[in-house]
Amino acid sequence: MRYAIQAEGLVKHYGATKALDGVDLEVRQGRLLGVLGPNGAGKTTAVRILATLLRPDKGTATVAGFDLFREAHKVRSLIGLTGQYASVDEMLTGTENLVMIGRLLGLSRPEAKRRAAELLDRFSLTEAGGRAAKTFSGGMRRRLDLAASLIGRPEVLFLDEPTTGLDPRSRTELWDVVRGLMADGVTVLLTTQYLEEADQLADDIVVFDHGKVIASGSSDQLKARAGSQVLEVRPIDESRLDVVSKVVGDVLDTVPEVVSGKVTASVHDPAVVPAIVRRLDDLGVVASELSLRKPSLDEVFLTLTGHRAEQEADDSDKAEAKSTATV
């Protein structure tokens, strides 16, 4: 089995902050690895190291079969990188941006123009190709940025939170683009804070927290690790929410969550659900919704770490941001 990315024992400090604390990663060729975690978990630091932009304090890694440190120039020729902020030149047109990058990569001018036209078509940007990038919407700029990273036909693509700040429609469009790349056999490492994004795109997922990999597996495998299902009950009469919460809490011996007119709680034994239904019926509570489902990745993250993936950035995130600005 061939691995496009292998890393072992990656450690990186920013002063007293340990951004990475012995990270191991493996990405099989042609698959998409989702790296999931909150701000400050170490995701961006890992990407910058694997993209040869930052040296770790400890650890080893290979990308596309080449040693990350002894053969960095070969690694750079085989990878693409797109960050969470579009890096195109706003004063140049879409076509000019792509042609410029093609020329920097050693393509002849005719080759660079042909490659630019191919990518503009692929990313539905042909009609906008003659306009200055500053006139593009956020989603269009992100697609142009991704197109730029593909000029050199990389074997491995690093996407560092590429949909951050995009509206839902633009995010979905970018997901379709990523699926197309996967169909072409490109290996992708995608970092994200969006649980749905990892669920939609990733073949495999690793969960980062405080610079460490705390879990790995497929989406279904990680959900199974939570060891429970999730019960959701929505009464027709919202004034009965307190009654529903008490019944669910008493039967499950837990404190349910009450949000947006719905009571939610973890269920380790589905056999108790009929008891909840009977008690609600005895109390005259009619439910408009009652379901038992697998936990979401957000709920899995909460189980694994004790906090949600979207919590506020910590000192590690500030250190990562500082390194991005200064390296």
Percent of the chain residues past pLDDT 90, beyond the cut: 62
Q: What is the arithmetic mean of pLDDT over 220-245?
A: 88
Percent of the chain residues past pLDDT 70, beyond the cut: 92
- Where are the CATH 3.40.50.300 domain residues in the chain? 3-78+154-223+309-326
Burial class for 132, CB neighbours closer than 10 Å (0-12, 13-18, 19+) = middle
Q: What is the pLDDT of residue 317?
A: 46
Q: What is the pLDDT of residue 309?
A: 58
Nearest to 51 by CA among 82, 25, 28: 82
Q: What is the arithmetic mean of pLDDT over 242-267?
A: 93
Following CA atoms 19, 25, 31, 32 in sequence, which dihedral angle do they give, to the nearest 10 degrees? -20
Residue with tokens 């050693």: 106
Least confident of 158-172, 245-259, 291-305: 291-305
What band does 314 get if pLDDT is binned at 50, 70 and 90?
very low
Q: What is the pLDDT of residue 125?
A: 94
Fold of 228-294: Alpha-Beta Plaits (3.30.70)
Q: Does residue 312 have a pLDDT over 60?
A: no
Least confident of 46-50, 230-234, 272-276, 307-311: 307-311
Nearest to 31 by CA among 201, 242, 170, 175: 201
What pTM was estimated for this model as a whole? 0.78
What band does 278 get if pLDDT is binned at 50, 70 and 90?
very high
Q: What is the pLDDT of residue 193?
A: 81
The amino acid that residue 137 corresponds to is: S
Contact 82, 159 (CB under 8 A): yes
Q: What is the pLDDT of residue 88?
A: 85
- Where are the CATH 3.30.70 domain residues in the chain? 228-294
What band does 225 get if pLDDT is binned at 50, 70 and 90?
confident
Q: What is the pLDDT of residue 318?
A: 47
User: Helix, strand, or coil here: 108?
Assistant: coil
Least confident of 37-46, 223-232, 267-276: 223-232
Q: What is the pLDDT of residue 322?
A: 47
Q: Does residue 26 have a pLDDT over 60?
A: yes
Q: What is the pLDDT of residue 86?
A: 64
Q: Does residue 138 have a pLDDT over 90?
A: no
Nearest to 85 by CA among 164, 143, 151: 164
Q: Does residue 50 have a pLDDT over 70?
A: yes
> How far is residue 45's CA from residue 12's CA, in Å, rounded to a whole number?
8
Question: Which is more confident, 233 or 309?
Answer: 233
Least confident of 56-60, 203-207, 218-222, 238-242: 218-222
Domain 3-78+154-223+309-326, classified CATH 3.30.70.560, yes or no: no
Instruction: Give every CB contact of residue 274 below 8 A, 6+ residues apart in sequence.
Output: none
Q: What is the arithmetic mean of pLDDT over 105-119?
A: 95
What band does 326 get if pLDDT is binned at 50, 70 and 90?
very low
What band does 302 get if pLDDT is binned at 50, 70 and 90?
confident
Burial class for 1, CB neighbours closer than 10 Å (0-12, 13-18, 19+) = exposed
> How far is residue 238's CA from residue 235's CA, in Å, rounded to a whole number?
6
Query: Average pLDDT over the chain, rounded to whole?
Result: 88
Question: Which is more confident, 161 or 10?
Answer: 10
Residue 268 in tokens: 């380790």
Q: Does residue 269 have a pLDDT over 70?
A: yes
Contact 213, 206 (CB under 8 A): yes
Contact 17, 316 (CB under 8 A): yes
